Structure 1
Amino acid sequence: MRQIKVLLVDDSAVVRQVVQAILDKEPDIQVMATAADPIFALDKLSRAWPDVIVLDVEMPRMDGITFLKKIMVERPTPIVICSSLTEKGAETTMQALAAGAVEIVTKPRFGLKSFLQESAATLVTAVRTAAQANVRQLMPKASRPGAPRQEAVPASPGGHAMARTTERIVAIGTSTGGTQALEAILTPLPRVCPGLVIVQHMPEKFTASFAERLNSLCRIEVREARHNDRVLPGLALIAPGGKHMLLKRSGAYYHVEVVDGPQVNRHRPSVDVLFRSVARFAGKNATGIIMTGMGDDGARGLKDMARAGAGTVAQDEASCVVFGMPKEAIKLGAVDRVLPLQELPLAILGQKG
């Protein structure tokens, strides 16, 4: 069995000790080195290069974002961010994801040892997922060779877009690599477009910062969903971390319910929960899009949408960071079309690429 070699960079000796113990228990993972800050890490990297880097973002001498950007330019490597559950930590983590990080593992300010031990499975899964990531797709757009500039996608011709889109719903599910992928497909959309409901696997407190960042970049409005929010043209609602989001219909109007509940497919929010509700309440008026991510969350829900008459789309393997979720949906026979990332905005608008 080939081992995943990990470099752990964190200024907390407790975190380094606990994380190393958790990872070293796994037969397929080996912590090859630890470092208290990025300067020490660069010295270790001059001698040996890991498969995955587990990185804190708030450290002395050189912050984690600067280090991450340096790595992604010099030798792109899958990076798992180990971030604190604070507002500041969430904002910094969004910068890290935009710069090319793969996954987030959260840590509290206090009770680190017991928390990290309870979250051992999450940490191990994050490292394994990162090791399978298509690093080219993680590189910031400006760094990718020949990366095209994203232009605005025109609204449907004829001036009837608003009439058509008031009833149309687009449901999107994504996980690993989804933060960059969602930015790529939402930023070109015109202000007049179908209402969007989105599940991005992300911890609690991080989805609000993610939605705010997208809102600052997009022509459409993007925000974290609140219970009973209306689904409207030109608005994208992102499920809050730690809650499920379901679509409901009241008369001619769609709205979302944001609810507690057990994890589904090891996730809360779950793509399957959203897609199944869209199948039930929107049926053929909906389009479902499943994008980059590890695992099978969303595959069965997308199949339900297809049975209800909805259009169903999967992101293609070449443009995914991890082709797990789309692959499972395709295997299940839930997908009408497989499209590259750059054609998904046209699918959202109901146009053919």
Structure 2
Amino acid sequence: MSAIRVLIVDDSAFVRQMLTDLLSSDPGIEVLGAAPNPIVARDMIKSLNPDVLTLDIEMPRMDGLAFLDKIMTLRPMPVLMISSLTQKGADTAVRALEMGAFDCVAKPVIGLVEGLPALRDEIVTKVKAAAAAKIRPRSGDEVRPLHRPGVSYSSSEKIIAVGASTGGVEALQELLMAFPSDAPAVVITQHMPAMFTASFANRLNQLCAVTVKQAESGERVLPGHAYIAPGGCHLELARNGANYVCRVHDEPAVSGHRPSVDVLFRSVAHAAGLNAIGVILTGMGRDGALGLLEMRSAGASTIGQDEATCVVYGMPKAARECGAVEIELPLNKIADQVLKRCESLAARGVRV
């Protein structure tokens, strides 16, 4: 196979050189060049036609978000964002992922000499995954909450459990924006750096009819709310008497991740059983496959995102292959199917 051709865009000459050295150390990657700003990068993209772009966020002449918007509108391609570990950097990185960036690497604010080389394996892995990803033009279609006359979920005891990784920011936004304000409670694990999850939850809360927040240990899980696992911590569903509650903890990584989708799904299988619906979305690897299988074995309905609409068809594929997925659907059909299944459970009087 030919080498993956990468263009680096960063206003720091030091960072450009370090990224060039890190990526060039892998025989499967060829660095075509490095641009100091988006204006130069634009011409280099036209002449060099790279497979993957690494893009800094804060740059002169045109910031990374404005440039990303032009790329995803005019020439969609895999873009790996380089974001500093600051609150402003986290907010901007979430916006970039929402706009279609493939993934984001958290660049250390200080200690670049030691910090960037420590990220070498992560950067190389994400560049290779980006080269194989499906990047589609932004549709621009507005997602509106689904309305079902005469249906209310305000007293529902149903639980929707969702797991996602690469490509999950866009996918979760589309899924949650389709839920009405009184939708059954949603618990979510999205693989994301620790500082980014609060920004992600806040952004979704601005866009969605349901209330979206970062989960806190011990809080009651309520209809009309979606709870996102904090970065660096596992999220579990637990029972406290007749109520569902969040359990957040920092026990060791599972399936290579913390938070882990497997941890969430297994807890939902135990706490909610057939009162739950599991959804596994786009992402690299296998996290969530065995947990979703436990949910299905416990009587829960299970749904996987189909290959055609995944940015990376890894986690849903692994779940399908092990028998965990009851039905696969395009992303834009999942919310409707989830709500229909919640209604079917309620009609049958299913509860735990």
Q: TM-score range by the shorter chain?
A: over 0.9
> Which stretch of structure 1 is more off in the superposition, 201-210 or 91-100?
91-100
The match for 1:162 among 139, 142, 154 is 154
Match in the other structure for 2:56: 56
Write out aligned runs for 1:22-33 (5 A): 22-33=22-33
Give the conservation status (yes or no) of the 8 Å contact 2:153–2:223: no
**After superposition, what is the alpha-carbon deviation per residue over 1:281-302, rounded to whole angstroms, capped at 9, x for unaligned?**
1111111100011111100110
Given that 1:14 and 1:113 are in contact with CA atoms closer than 8 Å, whether structure 2 keeps it comes out as no
Q: Does 1:140 align with 2:138?
A: yes
Q: Percent identity?
A: 50
**Match of residue 325, structure 1, among 292, 315, 319:** 315
Q: Among residues 179, 182, 191, which one is paired with 1:189 in the alignment?
A: 179
2:295 paired residue among 294, 305, 311 = 305
1:268-347 superposed matches below 5 A: 268-347=258-337
Q: What TM-score, normalized by structure 1, do the two folds share?
A: 0.93
Kept in 2: contact 1:9–1:41 (CA 8 A)? yes
Structure 2 alignment gaps of length 5 or more: 345-352
Q: Secondary structure at the match of 1:314?
A: strand
Q: After the TM superposition, which residues 3-14 of structure 1 pair with which residues of structure 2 at under 5 Å, given as runs?
A: 3-14=3-14
User: What TM-score comes out, normalization by structure 2 length?
Assistant: 0.93
Choose from 246, 257, 260 the match for 2:247: 257
Is 1:152 aligned with 2:138?
no
Deviation at 1:228, TM superposition (A): 1.3
Provide the rounded CA distance (Å) in 1 between the counterparts of 2:59 and 2:162.
35
Name the SS for the 1:192 alignment partner: coil
Contact 1:107-1:116 within 8 A present in 2 as well: yes
- The aligned residue for residue 222 of structure 1 is 212
Q: Distance in 2 between matches of 1:266 and 1:179?
A: 20
Root-mean-square deviation (CA, aligned residues, Å) is 1.6
Partner of 1:45: 45
Aligned equivalents of 1:32, 1:99: Cα separation in 2: 25
Q: CA deviation at 1:319?
A: 1.2
Q: Which stretch shifts more, 243-252 or 8-17?
A: 8-17
How far did residue 172 of structure 1 move? Answer: 0.2
Shift of 1:56: 0.5
What's the CA shift string for 1:257-281, capped at 9, x where partnerless? 1111222222211111111111111
**How far, CA to CA, are the matches of 2:102 and 2:255 in structure 1?**
20
Distance 1:67 1:160 in 2: 43
Q: Which runs of 5+ in 1 are unaligned?
A: none
For 1:238 and 1:218, locate their aligned partners in 2 and report how far apart those are by CA, in whole Å. Answer: 14
